[in-house]
Amino acid sequence: MNKIISISREFGSGGRELGKRLADNLGFAYYDKEIVQEIANRSELSLHYVNDIIEHRPSFSFPIHTGASFVMTDSIWNPTQTIYSAQCEILREMAAKSDCVVVGRCSDYILRDFKPLKIFVYAEMEHKIARCREKKPEETRTDRQMARMIKNIDKHRAKYYEFFTAHRWGNKRLYDICINTSHISVKDAAAVLAEYVHLWDPSSE
């Protein structure tokens, strides 16, 4: 059985970087934005629109289509379901192919039959703000504005997750490991998790 690691993360927690470092440490495939691009390719919806649906909220509004003409199909009237169905298909194909780390995209739920190691990454607000500023030094928003932005992004992620899984995003009982990156570097956290993965056996009950 392939080892599948699903990373769910609060915005600004360093979860994406953690996933990439963990994949590099283990020699696993890493999937993040590649999933969105493949969904756009298969659904024939624009990359921007697909990303907006996944990162922000379920929507049943009329989609932005990339083709030259429109065909009146269920996928036009229900783009959110089209995107989610493509997402499920792509994730399962990736999980069946090799050991991998997947960031977000309801992967912990979609890949539940693959018995993934489910990790939730979070941090205290002041540390999330500091990490966002480090990643984007030109940011001009105040700390209060930054905190509001971070909360809104996480709120939208939670709505998307809960819409399709009927579970509460961030509920510790849904994950195998919850890690607070406020007081440990992402590099060190990835190294610690890599040691855990070496010992972890997904086939055991």
DSSP 52: H
Percentage of the chain beyond pLDDT 90 is 63
pLDDT of residue 86: 85
Handedness of CA 143, 147, 153, 154 (dihedral sign): positive
pLDDT digits (tens, 9 = 90+) for 33-55: 888 888 777 776 777 777 776 66
pLDDT level of residue 178 (50, 70, 90 thresholds)? very high
Q: Going along 73-116, which residue ranges are E strands?
A: 100-103
Round the average pLDDT of the chain to a whole number and report it: 86
Question: What's the CATH fold of domain 4-199?
Answer: Rossmann fold (3.40.50)
pLDDT at 77: 46
DSSP 77-92: H-HHHHHHHHHHHHHH
Q: Give residue 6's pLDDT band: very low, low, confident or very high (50, 70, 90).
A: very high
What digits encode the pLDDT tens for the residues 92-127? 999 999 999 999 989 999 999 999 999 999 999 999
Q: pTM of the full predicted structure?
A: 0.84
- Residue 75 near residue 180 (C-beta atoms within 8 A): no
Over residues 135-161, the mean pLDDT reads: 92
Rounded to an integer, the average pLDDT of 136-155 is 93
Give me the mean pLDDT over the 149-166 stretch: 92
pLDDT of residue 70: 34
Structural tokens at position 169: 């995003």
Q: Which residue has the tokens 């700390």?
A: 143
